[in-house]
Every structure is written in C-alpha cells, then in structure tokens.
Amino acid sequence: MPPSSAPAAATPPEKAPGKAVVLFSGGQDSTVCLAWALDRFDSVETVGFDYGQRHRVELEVRPAVRDAIRDAFPRWAARLGEDHLLDLGVLGRISETALTSEAEIAMGANGLPTTFVPGRNLLFLTFAAAIAYRRGAKHIVTGVCETDYSGYPDCRDDTMKAMQVALNLGMEARFVVYTPLMWIDKAATWALTHRLGGDALVELVREHTHSCYQGDRAHRHDWGYGCGACPACELRRQGWERYAAAGMTMAAT
Ligand code: ZN
C-alpha cells in the first residue's frame, strides 16, 4: 500500500516547519487531516465553506470539533490558528444536487451520484489557496480520497496535482497540496486517526464530527452520529467495522 501520507505532488517532510491551511468541513476526513497537519506544521489555520448545504449540521459541528481538539490535545492547541468560514452560496445556487436541495440521493445517468456538486473541490482549493496566499501559508491540506470514494472526479489525485500546478502558476506561488487520505480506505483512516491521537482522537471523531448526508445527529452508532443508511454513513460504518475487527493490530501499523 502506498504511504498513508502520500501527497499530491511532493513528499512531506516528517516535521515541516511553516504554516498550513486545512480545508475543514467538520467531517471525519477533514478532521483527521486537521490532526495530521497539527502534528506536522508550526501553525495551522482552517477554512470552511457555506455553499447552501441542505443540512447545516456540518457547519455547526466545525467550531465544536476545533474546541474539542484544543481541549484534548494541549500540544496542538498552540498551533491551531484562525478559522475562516467563506460564503460560497453561489455554488448552491448554480448546482441542483442532493447536497444542496431536496433532490434524492441516487446514482445519476452519468455514473456519478446526485450528491456530486460540479467543480466543488476545484473552487474550494482555489479559495483555500487565496486564503493561504494572504495568510502566508505554503501548505494546503485536503481530505480528498480516491480509494473508496463516491467517484467524484474532483477528488482524484490527478485533479489535485493539476490544481497545484494551476494555483502556483496563477498566483505566482509555491504551494504544496497535501492529500493524506488519497490512497487509504476508511478503515485505514480510522487507524491513522489512532496513530495521530490515540483513543482520545478516535473518540473525538466519533462524538463530534459529522459525515451523514441526511444531517442526522439523533442516532448514535459505534462509528458516530448519522442516519446509518446514506452513502456517507455506509462508508463510515464499513470502515469502522473493518478497523474495529482488525483492532489494535491495524492501529499499530
Ligand atoms: Zn447518513
């Protein structure tokens, strides 16, 4: 298996000095990426996007996750900097998808789920880079993954590599885009969570992060809150079950 920290276009030093911006949605993947960045960089800021998500819960858990990280991990608290929440309502207005409207979550005729928001990650990265530029951050971290994803073309490694080139050309910059989850599945994401922050971080992810497409915070499962039936819950549950079955063997690798 490729290294769990495989970046889009460069090998990350084990403890790179400098400043990072993490695309942080409040979900499981971006929370693990935030911990990954806090473990490596001197200073880490977060950026999130309000694009008219059908369920607001994702936005609501963001500050709670940041607070929980600060409380549980004093070594990371000093590194955790500002949060930037950008209004991208225009994205919701130009895309009629199951994430931004009452459309049903299903597989579309083009082979992509109806949760696909065209161009979303391209725009997110562009705005994150604009923030990074202004804040003097060289490193940009995103939780996109093409291992057990939903087929979103803007999550692919090639897309991220192309974006890194485009951003650096277009902004006359030397950003490095990191994708720590690109080549690992959801079970390995849980294992990475444990490797970064032990049981405390696993528990924080279970309790505070949100991935469910239905916005369900009423039902608590072993793997966290969610409806238990939507594609995001299904992925999260399956990953948890495989991780739990492998137990500490996996966490220790
Ligand atoms: Zn769900």
If you measure from the C-alpha of residue 228 to the centroid of ligand 1, how many angstroms do you get, rounded to a whole number? 5
* 17-75 residue pLDDT tens: 699 999 999 999 999 999 999 999 999 999 999 987 777 888 899 999 999 999 999 99
Q: State the pLDDT confidence band at 90, using cuts at 50, 70 and 90.
A: confident
If you measure from the C-alpha of residue 32 to the centroid of ligand 1, how many angstroms do you get, rounded to a whole number? 19
When pLDDT is averaged across residues 101-126 and rounded to a whole number, the result is: 73
C-alpha 230: how far from chain center: 18
If you measure from the C-alpha of residue 72 to the centroid of ligand 1, how many angstroms do you get, rounded to a whole number? 27
When pLDDT is averaged across residues 213-235 and rounded to a whole number, the result is: 93
* 200-212 residue pLDDT tens: 999 999 999 999 9
DSSP element (H, E) containing 173:
none
Identify the pLDDT of residue 250: 47
If you measure from the C-alpha of residue 116 to the centroid of ligand 1, how many angstroms do you get, rounded to a whole number? 16
Both tokens assigned to 170: 């277009």
If you measure from the C-alpha of residue 180 to the centroid of ligand 1, how many angstroms do you get, rounded to a whole number? 24
If you measure from the C-alpha of residue 75 to the centroid of ligand 1, how many angstroms do you get, rounded to a whole number? 33
Residue 140 amino acid letter: I
Both tokens assigned to 47: 């950026």
Residue 25 amino acid letter: S
Please tell me the distance from the alpha carbon of residue 44 to that of residue 139, in angstroms, as a whole number.
Answer: 9
* 92-105 residue pLDDT tens: 777 766 555 566 66
Global pTM value? 0.86
If you measure from the C-alpha of residue 220 to the centroid of ligand 1, how many angstroms do you get, rounded to a whole number? 11
Identify the pLDDT of residue 118: 79
Q: Which domains does the chain have, with CATH numbers?
A: 19-211 (3.40.50.620)
Please tell me the distance from the alpha carbon of residue 177 to that of residue 141, in angstroms, as a whole number.
Answer: 6
* Mean pLDDT computed over every residue of the chain: 87
* 171-187 residue pLDDT tens: 999 999 999 999 999 99
